Amino acid sequence: MTSLGVWVVVGWMVLVAFTGILFMIWGWESKQFKDIEEAKYRMLEDREPEPWPEQSRKGNES
């Protein structure tokens, strides 16, 4: 007979693998892997960031 510890470890391994598979499916369905190169080029764009909504309202009041 196998000990309870072996079944706990095997159950944990199955749970971790199943969780990883679910996250991969979620990433694929939400198009997380569509264009992985875009982020590094977007970081290098030379433009001013859009202001926060609170800051734009304060600027318009004065």
Structural domains in the chain (count): 1
Q: So what's the pLDDT on residue 32? A: 85
The reply to whether the predicted model has a pTM over 0.85 is no
What is the Rg, in whole angstroms, of the alpha carbon atoms belonging to the chain? 24
Condensed to tens digits (0 to 9), the pLDDT of residues 16-31 reads: 999 999 999 999 999 8
Residue with tokens 């598979």: 21
Domain that holds residue 15: 4-61
